[in-house]
């Protein structure tokens, strides 16, 4: 007769594989409030891992390397592209931005939900590379409000703001490509919705 205690001892040594974690992509036009929503989400749900993009642009006042971005040289960025280290990358206003692949894959494999805050071009690349990713589009309450937010910035010259407005029109038209659209009328409400979407197991 088999010893039940032996079965219990054997079962106690089993390690349950982590549930499949979801990769969520948050995108939307410049000035819609993505960074504000992500900052609120960081405080609301530390469990969600927020990918830090690499960029070739210079740091802005108050930014720290490895926190808002990893700041790299043009040659380093070229090397990351050549070696396949980037899950996605895009160029805007003369600078390049990209998502390191390895940290994302490591977190997902260990059951940690991952959120990427990237632009439209990057979101399309992730859709091709990770078909199961959830793409969330953050939309402004209105075009007038988006223009107000962009023109009220003091960190960029007028030509860059004008370029952002032109790009924003294109990005708003692409909202239908995304799985879900959240309208940013309240940072708190959007954050709660985004946490629920990101923490749901992959495939749900």
Q: How sure is the predictor about 31, in pLDDT bands with cuts at 50, 70 and 90?
A: confident
Torsion angle of the four alpha carbons 178, 36, 69, 92, in this order, in degrees rounded to the nearest 10: 50
What count of Cα atoms within 13 Å lies in the side-chain half-sphere of residue 59?
A: 12
Q: List pLDDT tens digits, range 37-71.
A: 999 999 999 999 999 999 999 999 999 999 889 99
Q: Looking at the predicted structure, is the pLDDT value of residue 4 above 50?
A: no
CA 107 to each of CA 19, 22, 73, 121, 184: distance values in angstroms, whole numbers, following the listed order: 12, 10, 26, 23, 28
Q: List pLDDT tens digits, range 151-198.
A: 876 667 888 888 888 888 998 999 999 999 999 999 999 999 999 999
Q: Looking at the predicted structure, is the pLDDT value of residue 142 above 50?
A: yes
pLDDT of res. 204:
61
Phi, psi of 185 (to 5 degrees): -90, -20
Helix axes 158-173, 143-151, angle to 10 degrees: 160
DSSP 26: E
143/55 Cα distance (integer angstroms): 28
- DSSP assignment of 104-136 equals HHHHHHTT--EEEE--HHHHHHHHHH-TTPEEE
State whether CATH 3.30.390.30 applies to domain 19-199: no
pLDDT of res. 149:
85
Prediction pTM value: 0.82
Q: How sure is the predictor about 148, in pLDDT bands with cuts at 50, 70 and 90?
A: confident
Of 202, 29, 51, give the one whose Cα is nearest residue 131. Answer: 202
Q: Looking at the predicted structure, is the pLDDT value of residue 14 above 70?
A: no
Q: Looking at the predicted structure, is the pLDDT value of residue 12 above 50?
A: no
99/81 Cα distance (integer angstroms): 10
pLDDT of res. 30:
83
pLDDT of res. 167:
84
CA 199 to chain centre: 14
DSSP-derived 3-state class of residue 51:
coil
Angle, alpha carbons 80-82-85 (nearest 5°): 40
Cα end-to-end span (Å), the chain: 44
């Amino acid at each position: 007769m088999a010893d039940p205690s032996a079965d219990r001892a054997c079962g106690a040594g089993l390690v349950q594989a982590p549930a499949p974690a979801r990769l969520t992509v948050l995108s939307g036009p410049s000035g819609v409030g993505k960074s504000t929503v992500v900052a609120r989400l960081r405080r609301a749900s530390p469990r969600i891992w927020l990918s830090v993009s690499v960029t070739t642009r210079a740091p802005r006042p108050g930014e720290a390397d490895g926190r808002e971005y990893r700041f790299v040289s043009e040659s380093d960025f070229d090397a990351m592209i050549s070696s396949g280290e980037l899950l996605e990358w895009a160029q805007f206003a003369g600078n390049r931005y990209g998502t390191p692949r390895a940290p994302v894959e490591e977190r997902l494999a260990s059951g940690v939900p991952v959120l990427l805050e990237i632009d439209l071009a990057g979101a399309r690349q992730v859709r091709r590379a990770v078909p199961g990713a959830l793409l969330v589009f953050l939309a402004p309450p209105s075009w007038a409000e988006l223009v107000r937010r962009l023109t009220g910035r003091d960190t960029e010259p007028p030509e860059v703001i004008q370029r952002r407005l032109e790009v924003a029109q294109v990005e708003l038209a692409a909202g239908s490509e995304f799985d879900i659209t959240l309208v940013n009328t309240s940072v708190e409400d959007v954050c709660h919705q985004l946490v629920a979407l990101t923490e749901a197991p992959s495939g749900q």
